[in-house]
A and B are shown apart, each in its own frame.
Chain A
Amino acid sequence: MWKWLHPYANPATTYHLGQKLTPWFGAVSAIFLIIGLTWALLFAPADYQQGDSFRIFYLHVPAASLSMGIYLGMAIAALCGLVWQLKLSDAAVAALAPIGAVFTLIALVTGAAWGKPMWGTWWVWDARLTSELVLLFLYLGVIALNNAFEDKQMGGKAASIIAVVGVINLPIIKYSVEWWNTLHQGATVSKLGKPAMSMEMFWPFVVCFLGFAFLVAYIACIRFNTELLLRNSSRPWVKALLTNTQSEK
């Protein structure tokens, strides 16, 4: 059943797959983002209470949910690396951590910008905000640990362990708004069931979300391939790649 996966344990095969996928992810992301953001920022109806300032929702919510999604992906990669000793997973963890950190930061900054007009304050020590901040620290810890070792392999393994340990924070963020009654509102959009917003507002969100998700995939592919090249820089296939590009010029 899993046999089709086996060739991808070879970094060269995976690298070429990544090179093929990267432009597609980029193009799809660009199309979705252009359509989604124009629709969301210019044409979607304004909120009856919050007016136009609710439009930051279209940036804030995708960034926040992707920040958790990226962490989950990174942790799964880390666990696979620890269990099956896949060297590619270390590269995936190293590739994903900075992207996740940036998305967490975007979620926090847009949240602060949204909170100022709506709640009257940039920041409250609310359960969800605090746990999202902790998520940022966890990402920074993974990045720091990755860079702390001379040996890239050891750094990758150590970062994988802390990434798996940090998963404990994800359910806390996800359910913080349900467990504690705090200022941050509950989920407006859920996978199952009807969203708690009008369809005219909901569809641009879906397009925006997909746009950002493909953007993550695009950046992740580029970073992952760069990591692969870095980690395999002494291998023949990388050298062959290098001489090919030089002879083309």
Chain B
Amino acid sequence: MSYRALFKLVLFRDLKIAMRHRDDILNPLLFFVMVISLFPLGIGPEPTILALIAPGIIWVAALLASMLSLDRLFKADFKDGALEQLLLSSNPNFIWVISKIIAHWLLTGLPLIVISPLLGVMMQLSESSIYAVMVTLLLGTPVLSFIGAIGAALTVGTNKSGVILSLLILPLYIPVLIFATSAITAASMNLPYDGQLAIIAALFIGTFTLAPFAITTALKVSTN
């Protein structure tokens, strides 16, 4: 099987499975919207304060939503044995690991980006900030998926994976959070934020190329 065919096969298979469990796509998205809409209620509807804290809130909510959905990434395949078969296949593990993560991002990262302008308006962000939110989410959420997949692969064999997953992954999410929020803050002050975007893009390229190594090793350990 050619690499391209394998890539497509796993991608469409994962998308098809997800489409048959639509709740799994919707729930993290609803969680994202719910968490963000709690903050104006908790802090008060003052527009200047909301605009000030919005970048942080949107990004923290995105981190949590992405973490919430990670558990699903390998669990079902691990339970029914498909994961072992994929590992045993003669094709490089790289291809289908990347394909699975891209499918995961299409299902969880992309909806966040699509809905983020609406939330930006709700949080009283200016137009340029909303654009920055979308760009940072576009570059940043794949990083979250790739880093998160390492944690998901490590904990797929344990029963209490939820808590440990957050302990493992959240520290590694911090750089993305820092640079993304600083980019949005810069955008809200009409300052250039290309530098921060370049760093997030570098993180993306770095995790895209290196994380699959860690993920395949971790999957091999988890499936024993």
Contact = CB atoms under 8 A, between A and B. Distances in A.
A148 B150 contact: no
B171 interface: yes
Interface in B139-186: 150-151, 154-155, 157-158, 160-161, 163-164, 167-168, 170-172, 174-175
B221 A140 contact: no
B93 interface: no
Interface stretch (A54-62, A105-113, A153-161): A153-161
A145 B168 contact: yes
B168 to A, nearest CB: 4
Contacts of B214: 161, 164-165
A145 B160 CA distance: 10
B218 interface: yes
Contacts of B167: 137, 140-141, 144
Contact of A154 (B151, B160, B161, B224): B224
Contact of A82 (B158, B174, B217, B224): B217
Contacts of B124: none
A154 B224 CA distance: 8
A213 interface: no
Contact size range, A:
20 to 34
A157 B171 contact: no
A219 interface: no
Contact size range, B:
20 to 34
Nearest to A165: B214
Contacts of B155: 145, 148, 158
B222 interface: yes
B171 A158 contact: no
A210 interface: no
Contact of A148 (B160, B170, B172, B174): B160
A162 interface: yes
A149 interface: yes
Residue of B150, B171, B217 most packed against chain A (CB within 10 A): B171
Nearest to B221: A157
A7 B135 CA distance: 56
Nearest to A160: B221
B97 to A, nearest CB: 14
Contacts of A151: 224
A153 to B, nearest CB: 9
Residue of A138, A157, A161 most packed against chain B (CB within 10 A): A161
Given A138-B171, A141-B171, A154-B157, A148 B164 contact: yes
Contacts of B222: 154, 158
A208 to B, nearest CB: 29
Contacts of A166: 171-172
A161 B218 contact: yes
B77 to A, nearest CB: 18
Nearest to A147: B164
A158 B221 contact: yes
A76 interface: no
A30 interface: no
A158 B172 contact: no
B164 A161 contact: no
A41 interface: no
A137 B221 contact: no
A219 to B, nearest CB: 24
Contacts of A165: 150, 172, 214
Given A148-B164, A161-B150, A137 B171 contact: yes
A50 to B, nearest CB: 30
A161 B147 CA distance: 13
18 contacts: A130-B174, A137-B170, A137-B171, A140-B167, A141-B167, A141-B168, A144-B164, A144-B167, A154-B222, A154-B224, A158-B155, A158-B218, A161-B154, A161-B214, A162-B150, A162-B168, A164-B214, A165-B150
Given A145-B164, A154-B157, A158-B155, 11 more contacts: A141-B164, A141-B167, A145-B168, A148-B160, A158-B154, A161-B150, A161-B154, A161-B214, A162-B154, A168-B172, A172-B175
Interface of B: 150-151, 154-155, 157-158, 160-161, 163-164, 167-168, 170-172, 174-175, 214, 217-218, 221-222, 224
Q: Which 6 A-B pairs have the closest CB atoms?
A: A137-B171, A157-B221, A141-B168, A148-B158, A134-B171, A158-B154
